[in-house]
Amino acid sequence: MQSLIFLWICRSVAVPPAAEKEIHIRFRPVFQEQTLVLGQSYELKGQPVRIETLRFYVSQIALIRKGKTVWQEANSYHLVDLAEDTSLFFGLTLPSAIKYDSLHFTLGIDSLTHVSGAMGGDLDPSKGMYWAWQSGYINFKLEGSSPLSTARGHGFQYHLGGYMPPYASARSISLRVPKAEQWTIRVNVGDFLAHTDLAEAHTLMSPGARASALSDRAAAIFSCDEK
Amino acid sequence: MKNKYLLACLLPLLVLVAARLPYAPDPLPFRYPEGWPAPVYAFDKNPLTREGVALGRRLFYDPVLSGDSSISCSNCHLSYTAFTHVDHALSHGIGDSIGLRNSATLVNLAWSRSFMWDGAANHLDVQALAPISDPDEMGENFAHVVKKVQRSRAYRGLFYQAFGDSNATGQHLLQALAQFQLTFVSANARYDRVMRGEAGAAFSEQEQKGYALFRTHCGSCHQEPLFTSGDFARNGLPPDSLLKDMGRMRITGNPEDSLKFKIPTLRNIEFSYPYMHDGRFSSLQQVLRHYAQRIPLSPDERTDLMAFLLTLSDKEFLFNPNLSYPRK
């Protein structure tokens, strides 16, 4: 008991009050090795391709150390939109003593939030990321055009969502992160399209098996440089 | 003269004070009859207030919600007819477009676990997005609705009073609409007064017989006191070859849900014609004839059942001045 009190006194004297530090997350959409710019032409399977919209939800941000959650962001919902520069970059305020090796987040919106009525902020249904005909958020939205698409106007539209089993489409992503104060997360849209047959599947706007499979693919295009 | 001077001095001050009225909405308790199940709606996330309900009422009756500002929610959900669209098998939207279904009655929504005939909406707050965005209904983009409402000076004040934020958001707009609709509580039909044992309230012999028949044959789906279990069911109607409406399966993708539709409440059924999801029956007699194919009901029994169904009409609800068009 006495040693416990001694330890407690040592702790209170030695450790200054928990200070905070800020870490910045920056999402960097790319098309393979090139920075992705909306409306600009890139090459896909020998054909040009343009991206008009890239928007997705990042939620439930947490930090992990040796497989255990050491920190969770409160009210963690971020709409990332390539058309809005400020949405690509945000800070996390952490206790400065915290140690971690990985960043964890959900690509999309959890099912509880899905059934809890009208939300505000980035979750406001007027943000263009909520289906109207059927309740549910669009977790990931990618739109553009390429001669590879057999749709009218050669467009393609992927609106990935759905929260009901067996086709829940929010995906957990874990990335090892560097000890730096800024983490850059690459979002390689080229990789998503390279594995998609635009002649066969160019339009997807409802939940189901296809949305679920494409959500796996979308989750795989996020990576973090550890340097 | 002196008074006039004083007034001139005070006036700007009064305006300033008025502009900075504190945000203090008046809580409105949600009342429902004793013995009813607890409401499903999470009132803690969107507490009813006098100001919130008033704003929702104004929005419900405002055609600004539609693409060409021609129709409001009330076009298909008229208070005097149990908040449905009478006389039209399939409800029509802007530009004379015809929808897929007969508009649902809006009543006792605080107890609903899902909304629309196929349960497409999982929460009352977000239900309104469907008719607003459907090109055959209000044909409008929700983000644009919010912008139009933000531009209105009158709405700025109403949103501030209701939510403490004069700038309308999608969330607050939907929550206000939900608040108004939550007040659509029908619990004062003659049936209710008989059940409560109120003095002078009684069923006739025919109604009593009808009630017994109802409990035997209809009550498991049309559960009392809400007269719906809230579930989805296939009731033997052959699908319409033009509409090809698969009902609940459209949402779940599960073949077991094919041709299942939400079990509607029977409250105020006298006023909510035509019947069924596609409005194919214009009278209750037709409805009962349909069910008589599977449920053994003699013509006399059908008449008794009909007499009982008419005791579910709640005139106090239908003609409640607080629910109709908000006259200033």
Task: Report the residue of chain A nearest B123, measured CA to CA.
Answer: A117
Q: Judged by CB atoms within 8 Å, which residues 212-251 of B form the interface with A? A: 251
**Which positions in chain B touch A207 (Cβ < 8 Å)?**
253
Answer whether A134 sits within 8 Å of B120, measured CB to CB. Answer: yes
Work out the pLDDT band at A100, boundaries 50, 70, 90.
very high
Region(s) of chain B under CATH 1.10.760.10: 36-186, 190-316
CB pairs under 8 A between A and B: 76
Q: Percentage of residues in chain B with pLDDT exceeding 70?
A: 93
Answer whether A125 sits within 8 Å of B253, measured CB to CB. Answer: no
Which pLDDT does position B47 carry in this prediction?
A: 97
Answer whether A118 sits within 8 Å of B133, measured CB to CB. Answer: no
Which pLDDT does position B1 carry in this prediction?
A: 47
**Is the alpha carbon torsion for B151, B26, B81, B274 positive or negative?**
positive
Cβ neighbourhood burial of B150 (10 Å; 0-12, 13-18, 19+) = middle
Q: For chain A, what is the largest distance between any 2 Cα atoms, rounded to a whole number of angstroms?
A: 78
**Which positions in chain A touch B126 (Cβ < 8 Å)?**
117-118, 125, 130, 135
Read off the pLDDT of residues B121-131 as tens digits, 9 standing for 90 and up. Answer: 999 999 999 99
Say if residue A10's pLDDT is above 60. Answer: no
**Residue of A133, A167, A210, A212 to mutate when probing chain B, most B C-beta within 10 A:** A133
**CB nearest A135 (choices: B120, B169, B175):** B120
Q: Give dist(CA A210, CA B2) in Å, integer.
A: 79
Indicate the residue type of A175: L
Q: Judged by CB atoms within 8 Å, which residues 128-157 of B form the interface with A? A: 129-130, 132-134, 142-143, 145-146
A164 touches chain B (CB under 8 A): yes
Structure tokens at A67: 């497989």
**CB nearest A135 (choices: B126, B169, B253):** B126
Indicate the residue type of A177: V
**Is the alpha carbon torsion for A151, A156, A161, A165 positive or negative?**
positive
Task: Report the residue of chain A nearest B170, measured CA to CA.
Answer: A126
Q: Give backbone dihedrals phi and psi of B59, rounded to 5 degrees, phi first.
A: -65, -40
Choose between B78 and B149: higher pLDDT: B149
Q: Which residues contact B203 (CB under 8 A, 6 or more apart)?
A: B194, B211, B308, B311
Work out the pLDDT band at A226, boundaries 50, 70, 90.
low
Taking a C-beta distance cutoff of 8 angstroms, is the pair B267, B106 a contact?
no
β-pairing, A68-72 vs A47-65, is antiparallel
Which pLDDT does position A183 carry in this prediction?
A: 95
Which pLDDT does position A163 carry in this prediction?
A: 94
Taking a C-beta distance cutoff of 8 angstroms, is the pair B295, B217 a contact?
yes
**CB nearest B122 (choices: A115, A123, A133):** A115
Give the DSSP letter string of A7-53.
HHHHHHHHSPS--EEEEEEEEEEEETTEEP-TT-EEEETTEEEEEEE
Domain B190-316 in this protein, CATH class: mainly alpha
**CB nearest A125 (choices: B124, B129, B251):** B129
Say if residue A51's pLDDT is above 50. Answer: yes
Say if residue B60's pLDDT is above 80. Answer: yes
Pick the closest to residue A30 from A42, A48, A20 (CA basis): A42
Taking a C-beta distance cutoff of 8 angstroms, is the pair B68, B94 a contact?
yes
Answer whether B134 sits within 8 Å of A208, measured CB to CB. Answer: no
Answer whether B171 sits within 8 Å of A124, measured CB to CB. Answer: yes
Q: What angle do CA A49, A53, A56 make, to 5 degrees?
A: 125
Task: Report the residue of chain B nearest A206, measured CA to CA.
Answer: B251
How large is the average pLDDT for residues B42-65?
96
Categorise residue A38: left if φ over 0, alpha if ψ from -120 to 50, beta otherwise: beta
Indicate the residue type of B36: W
Pick the closest to residue B87 from B325, B317, B281 (CA basis): B281
How far from chain centre, in Å, is Cα B301? Answer: 31
Domain B36-186 in this protein, CATH class: mainly alpha
Residue the block writes with tokens 């090459």: A43
Say if residue B111's pLDDT is above 80. Answer: yes
Strands (E), B11-64: none
Q: What angle do CA B240, B242, B246 make, to 5 degrees?
A: 55
Q: What angle do CA A148, A151, A155 make, to 5 degrees?
A: 70
Indicate the residue type of B52: G
**Which positions in chain B touch A134 (Cβ < 8 Å)?**
120-121, 130, 251
Instruction: For chain A, give percent helix, strand, coil, nearest 5.
Output: 20, 40, 35
Read off the pLDDT of residues A175-209 as tens digits, 9 standing for 90 and up. Answer: 999 988 899 999 999 999 999 999 888 999 999 99
Work out the pLDDT band at B97, boundaries 50, 70, 90.
confident
Q: Give dist(CA A31, CA A97) in Å, integer.
A: 37
Q: Percentage of residues in chain A with pLDDT exceeding 90?
A: 82
Say if residue B2's pLDDT is above 60. Answer: no
Structure tokens at A143: 């739109």
Which pLDDT does position B210 carry in this prediction?
A: 97
Read off the pLDDT of residues B20-35 as tens digits, 9 standing for 90 and up. Answer: 567 999 999 999 999 9
Read off the pLDDT of residues A17-40 as tens digits, 9 standing for 90 and up. Answer: 568 999 999 999 999 999 999 999
Read off the pLDDT of residues B208-252 as tens digits, 9 standing for 90 and up. Answer: 999 999 999 999 999 999 999 999 999 999 998 888 889 999 998
CA dihedral of residues A114, A118, A120, A122 (deg, nearest 10)? 40
How large is the average pLDDT for residues A60-87?
96
Answer whether A115 sits within 8 Å of B252, measured CB to CB. Answer: no
Answer whether B253 sits within 8 Å of A135, measured CB to CB. Answer: no
Q: State pTM to two decimals.
A: 0.89
3-state secondary structure of B59: helix
Taking a C-beta distance cutoff of 8 angstroms, is the pair A99, A179 a contact?
no
Residues forming beta bridges with residue A173, ordered by sequence position: A105
**Which positions in chain A touch B172 (Cβ < 8 Å)?**
120
Q: Can you give the residue ranges of every domain in chain A?
A: 19-224
3-state secondary structure of B292: helix
